[in-house]
Structures are given as structure tokens and as C-alpha cells.
Amino acid sequence: MNTSDFDYTLPSDRIAQTPVEPRDSSRLLVVHRASGRLEQRAFRDIVEYLQPGDLLVANDSRVIPARLHGHKTTGGQVEILLLRPAPDPEGSASETWECLVGGKGLRPGVQVIIDAQRARSALPGDFAKTGPSGVDGARSETGPSSGLETGPSGVDGARSETGPSMAERARSETGPSGSLETGPGGDLEAGLSGDVIVATIDAELPEGGRLVSFSQPLDEWLYDLGEMPLPPYIHTRLEDGERYQTVYSRIEGSAASSTAGLHFTPELLLELRARGVGLAFVTLHIGLDTFQPVKVERLEDHPMHSEWASLSAGVARQINETTLRGGRVIAVGTTAVRTLEWAATGAQGLDPYDVTACPWKRTAAFEGETNLFIRPGYRFRAVDALLTNFHLPRSTLLMLVSAFGGKELIDQAYQAAIDEGYRFYSFGDAMLIV
């Protein structure tokens, strides 16, 4: 298949700019693979489609406030978007990250002062205008997760709005002309007090990224100076950053949310548990490549991005026992699908694209990088049903959904959703494929 087969035209007013309240009042399009039937329901009606003995598997990764603003010694404005920690040769914690950057002249050796001049609630930054990967809202017009821990509370709008005055201290150390004072040898860090955060561009990376090191550990200041990195197609300020987190998110590391899980409320999860539906968690830290359209025409030529994922031995046992008892494994979102399917193939030494390969057990525990690209023709081994949102044209997410539901049926479902006024993308409505 070709990338152009996954194009569609979406009116820009169908791109949801804000989440609905309450979470479970969003719409749900139920797609029956066996009959091709489509049902229009409210999300809270999902309890009617899950049976005792079924197991929901959700991604518990939590979005970090990964968007940073700063300025160079010359005064030029800079935006930095954290993607993932850089591998440390000694295996210890690293203050060096792979990042996307916005600004001029950001070559190796350039130093940037991280500041807090802007409000810290979730809002689009400079990347949102064109998207770090070239995606914007206008593009679609032309067509081409019972463990109810809520995680840390440091991403709420109130804390982000106030924050410490690190930026003010940084500005107080500039000279009369606004230039920054440097220490001996022109080193910026030597000329500033210890509470000012300095980012240094260490190297350029493929696809335009940068390797960036920070003068202080991120866990000491990130929640005070960072912003929630909303997707590039969202242009409306989000006052409550928790609305871009699932109610069960707990392990920090993502640059984007597992949006299929945004529809769940604690009350709905408790109702499902009372019904006998299990809930298990995997972790996959989502990078911004998830929003990037496939740029090659032949799907086989697409270099799939890699993301860190983990599935514990306890969860693998829970999944395998669910299967033995005749229950279904329902993935909450495409990231859960990729984690589960890697646990059924690559984690067991199998080639995921070998349709004849049969895992010796349904899933196996693993921890590490996965770059599994699921597209039509893929044979699913671990997932029986899929809960997902509506995805961007030409994206690997749409290709995965088409592989699971069948290309023709998913095309019909998307057209029906457009005709019926469904809301699309991260804050949009949901689809349950059974």
C-alpha cells in the first residue's frame, strides 16, 4: 500500500481544540469488524461492550512539561522541546536530552538561558504554528486508562502560573545592554549564579534535532519552568494541564498524551471493575514523532521512530491468563497496541512481519526500545479489540487502526464520523473496534 491511500479531507472545524466535560461525555463510534456495522453511542456506554473477564490494557505514561522558552546571549528567543533523555554510556541519570529547537543559529556550542517569562499553563508555543514535524491544522483541510492513582499534581495551571522567579534572577544578571555577562573564557555558566538554568547545544541530530545538556538536574526545575506540549494542531490555550493527562497516568516521560485514555473518569473505571473488567498498565513514552506524517510513498520505506516501552512480568501473566480464560484483551490506544504486539513478537525473538511466526505465549515481559510499524497486512497476536481516537491523515496511527479494523471498513467509519460531526484528534471523540 501507499501513503496516499491514507489521505482524507477533514474540515478544520472538526479538529477539537478543547476537551469536553465531563471526560466520558465524548461520543463513541463502535465499529463491528465481523458485520461492518457502525453504532453511535456516548463514551460512557462503553460498559455495554465490555464483558466480565475482559482486560483493558492502558498506557500509564505521563506527559512532562516538555516545552521550554529561553534566550541566547545575543537576546534571540529560543524554544526547546524535550523528546527523550540521551543514552548515558555509564547507565546513570543524564541531564542531556534529545530535543527539537526553534530559533536561529542554534549550532553546537551555543548556550541558552531558560526563562519563565511566559505563563506556564498549557498553551501552544512556536512549534504549534507549523508543528515540529510540519503538521498543522490547515493540512487536513486540503487532504494530501481500577489503579486510580493520579500521579504528581505539579502540572496544574495554578502552580505553572506562579512558578519561582528564576527568569527574573537571570535577567538581573544581564548587563545594561541586555547582553549576558560571562565568566572567564566566555563560559556563560561561570558568569551566572547557580540557580539560573543554562542549556547548551552539544550536537546536531538527524531530522533537525539537537542534543542539549542542562546545567542543573531537570527534576529540580522542570515543573516550574516548563509548559505542557500540546499537539501542533491545537491552537487554543488549555487552562488545566491535567486535562491533557489520563486519570491513571503516573510514570513521567511522554511528550504527548495517550489520548484514547483521556475519556475515562475514575467513576467509569470503578464501574468497569464492578462489572468484572480488569485493568492493566503498560508504559510507552510517546515522542512527538507520533504527529509526523509519513513522508515516503511506499510504506515499506518509512523509517519508524523508536520509543521506550515496558511491559512487566505481572502484566504479561495477567494478559496470558485472560486469554486462557476466554477473555478479550482490549488495548486503550495505539501506544498500548504497539507495546502489546511487541511483547508478542520482538520481545520473544520473532519477526513481527512474519505472518507465519507464532509466539510461544501471548505476551512476554520486556523493557526497552521498540520501533514496531503496524500497517495493513500485519497479523495481530495480542490485541482482540481497540479503543482509539480519530487520527491524522497519512499518519502511522491511522495505518495501525486500518490494519486492525480493515482498510475499507475504517475508511467508511472515518467518513461516517465526518458526516456526523464527530470531533477529531487528541481532544476529539473515540472509536471502539470490536
With a cut of 90, say whether residue 34 has pLDDT above it: yes
Lowest-confidence segment of 3-12, 206-215, 369-378 by average pLDDT? 206-215
pLDDT tens per residue, range 70-117: 999 899 999 999 988 887 766 555 689 999 999 999 999 999 999 864
In percent, the amount of the chain with pLDDT more than 90 equals 67
Closest Cα partner for 212 from 63, 92, 66?
66
Query: What pLDDT is attached to residue 87?
Result: 77
With a cut of 90, say whether residue 65 has pLDDT above it: yes
With a cut of 60, say whether residue 132 has pLDDT above it: no
In 255-345, which residue ranges form alpha helices assigned H by DSSP? 266-274, 313-324, 334-344
Closest Cα partner for 188 from 208, 170, 166?
170
Sheet holding 329-332, edge to edge: 38-42, 27-31, 430-433, 385-389, 329-332, 55-59, 278-284, 307-311, 366-370
Distance of CA 117 to the CA centre of its chain: 26
Mean pLDDT for the stretch of residues 358-375: 91
Lowest-confidence segment of 7-11, 77-81, 182-186 by average pLDDT? 182-186
Query: What pLDDT is attached to residue 149?
Result: 34
274 — pLDDT class (breaks 50, 70, 90): very high
Q: Report d(CA 348, CA 150) in Å as an integer.
A: 32
Query: What pLDDT is attached to residue 289?
Result: 72
Query: What pLDDT is attached to residue 355?
Result: 84
Lowest-confidence segment of 80-94, 116-130, 186-200, 333-347 by average pLDDT? 116-130
- Residue with the larger pLDDT of the pair 170 and 115: 115
Q: How far is CA 233 from CA 1, 130, 132, 150, in A?
A: 27, 8, 11, 26
pLDDT tens per residue, range 376-417: 999 999 999 999 999 999 999 999 999 999 999 999 999 999
291 — pLDDT class (breaks 50, 70, 90): low
Q: Report d(CA 317, CA 325) in Å as an integer.
A: 12
Query: What pLDDT is attached to residue 356?
Result: 86
196 — pLDDT class (breaks 50, 70, 90): confident
- What are the residues facing 284 on neighbouring strands? 309
The CATH 3.40.1780.10 domain(s) of the chain lie at 3-63+237-433
Query: What pLDDT is attached to residue 360?
Result: 74
Query: What pLDDT is attached to residue 358?
Result: 82
Q: What is the mean pLDDT of the chain?
A: 84
Q: Residue 335, CB half-sphere, CA atoms under 13 Å: how many?
A: 33
- Residue with the larger pLDDT of the pair 141 and 193: 193
Mean pLDDT for the stretch of residues 234-244: 93
Collapsing DSSP to helix, strand or coil, 5 comes out as helix
DSSP letters, 298-310, are BGGG-----EEEE
Query: What pLDDT is attached to residue 139?
Result: 35
pLDDT tens per residue, range 219-228: 899 999 999 9
Mean pLDDT for the stretch of residues 261-276: 98
232 — pLDDT class (breaks 50, 70, 90): confident
With a cut of 60, say whether residue 206 has pLDDT above it: yes
Q: Report d(CA 340, CA 337) in Å as an integer.
A: 5
In 27-165, which residue ranges form alpha helices assigned H by DSSP? 127-130, 139-142, 157-162
First to last CA, the chain: 24
Mean pLDDT for the stretch of residues 342-347: 94
* Domain 3-63+237-433 classification at class level: alpha beta
Query: What pLDDT is attached to residue 357?
Result: 83
268 phi and psi, to 5 degrees?
Answer: -65, -40
Mean pLDDT for the stretch of residues 318-342: 97
